[in-house]
Amino acid sequence: MDQIQKRYGWTDEVVSKLPFTRFLEICETIVKARQDEAREQMALAAFLGWQMAQLWGYKYSYAKYLQELGLLEKDVPSPIERQLKKNQALARAAKIVEMDKRRKAKVVS
pLDDT tens string 52-70: 999 999 899 888 888 888 8
The span from the CA of 99 to the CA of 59, in Å, is: 45
Show the CA angle centred on residue 19, arms to residues 14 and 20, nearest 5°: 115
The span from the CA of 29 to the CA of 87, in Å, is: 34
Total domains, the chain = 2
The span from the CA of 49 to the CA of 83, in Å, is: 39
Do 63 and 85 have their domain in common? no
Do 52 and 94 have their domain in common? no
Task: Assess contact for 66 and 43: CB atoms under 8 A.
Answer: yes
Do 23 and 38 have their domain in common? yes
Query: Is the entire prediction scored with pTM above 0.95?
Result: no
Task: Assess contact for 4 and 17: CB atoms under 8 A.
Answer: no
pLDDT in tens, 80-94: 888 999 999 999 999
Q: Which range of residues forms the domain containing residue 11? A: 1-73
Do 17 and 64 have their domain in common? yes
pLDDT reading at 109 higher than 70: no
